[in-house]
Structure 1
Amino acid sequence: MTWIGKTIGIAIVLLVVALAVALGAAWRFRAVFAPDPTSIARASLEAVREQNELVPFAARFVAVVTSEEKRFGLSAQKTLIMPGTVRYAIDLSKLRQRDVVWNSITKTLTVTLPPVQIEGPEVDLVAIREYGQGGVLMALTSAEKDLDAANRKTGQAELLRQARDPMPMKLAQDAARSAIERSFALPLRAAGIEATVVAN
Structure 2
Amino acid sequence: MATSDREQPRTVAPTMAPPVRRAPWVLFALTLAAAVWLAWRAFGPEQLGDPLATSLLAFEKQNSLTVFSAQLAPVVASDDERMLGLLKSKQIAVIPARVEYRLDLSQIDRQRMRWNDANRTLTVTLPPLTVSRPNLDEARAQYIREGVLITRDAQERLNRNNTRLAEQQAAKQAANPVLMNLARTAARDAVQQNLTIPLQVAGYDNVTVEVRFDGEKDASQ
TM-score (norm 2): 0.68
Give the structure 2 partner of residue 41 of structure 1. 52
In structure 2, list runs of 5 or more residues that go unmatched. Answer: 1-43, 213-221
The CA deviation at 1:148 is: 1.4
Aligned-partner SS, 1:56:
strand
Aligned-partner SS, 2:100:
strand
Give the number of the structure whose alpha-carbon radius of gyration is greater.
1
**Aligned length, in residue pairs:** 166
Q: Does 1:199 align with 2:204?
A: no
Query: 1:49, 1:65 → 2: CA distance?
Result: 43
**Larger deviation: 44-53 or 79-88?**
44-53
Query: 1:82, 1:187 → 2: CA distance?
Result: 42
Q: Percent identity?
A: 30
Query: 2:46, 2:187 → 1: CA distance?
Result: 27
Offset from partner CA, 1:114-143 (integer Å, 9 cap, x none): 21111131222321112211242x32x833
CA RMSD of aligned residues (A): 2.3
**Larger deviation: 34-43 or 70-79?**
34-43
Give the structure 1 partner of residue 169 of structure 2. 158
Query: 2:161, 2:132 → 1: CA distance?
Result: 22
Q: Does 1:134 align with 2:163?
A: no
Query: 2:49, 2:125 → 1: CA distance?
Result: 15
Select the structure that is richer in helix: 1
Give the structure 2 partner of residue 116 of structure 1. 129
Give the structure 1 partner of residue 96 of structure 2. 83
TM-score (norm 1): 0.75
Q: Counterpart amino acid of 2:126?
A: L
Query: 1:48, 1:54 → 2: CA distance?
Result: 10
Q: Runs ≥4 in structure 1, deviation > 6 angstroms?
A: 33-38
